[in-house]
């Protein structure tokens, strides 16, 4: 029989997903600040260049930050709820090779 994941309990799952959304909200604020800082820094160092340069920089920095924070948030969610420990490891009983 497979062990049950703690995320199968609706109350624990609701708490975990609320925490994930809170982390993502904080990271969105950090990302907006970082995008603004990077565009300002680029403007101060390069002056007036094509607006497409600033748009591409803002989209690239913003997408990278949000993707990284979403993936790390999911790793924290999985580890923090005990979901990682509820898996069945088919290689658990095999001897370790040296």
**CA quadruple 68, 69, 74, 78: dihedral positive or negative?**
positive
The pLDDT value recorded for residue 25 is 96
Domain extents in the chain: 49-82
Q: What secondary structure does DSSP assign to 50-93, as a single string? A: -HHHHHHHHHHHHHHHHHHHHHHHHHHHHHHHTTGGGS--TTTT
Residues 20-42 pLDDT 10s:
999 999 999 999 999 999 999 99
Q: Per mean pLDDT, which range of 7-16, 31-40, 43-52, 53-62 is the poorest?
A: 7-16
User: For the whole model, what pTM was predicted?
Assistant: 0.74
The better pLDDT of the pair 78, 55 is held by 55
pLDDT in tens, 64-87: 999 999 999 988 888 777 776 677
């Amino acid at each position: 029989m497979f062990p049950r994941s703690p995320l199968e309990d609706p109350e624990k799952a609701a708490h975990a997903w609320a925490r994930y959304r809170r982390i993502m909200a904080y990271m969105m604020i950090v990302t907006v600040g970082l995008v603004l800082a990077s565009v300002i820094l680029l403007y101060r160092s390069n002056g007036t260049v094509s607006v497409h340069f600033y748009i591409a920089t803002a989209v690239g920095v913003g997408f990278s930050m949000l993707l990284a924070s979403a993936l790390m948030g999911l790793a924290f969610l999985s580890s923090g709820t005990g979901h990682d420990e509820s898996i069945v490891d088919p290689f658990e009983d095999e001897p370790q090779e040296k």
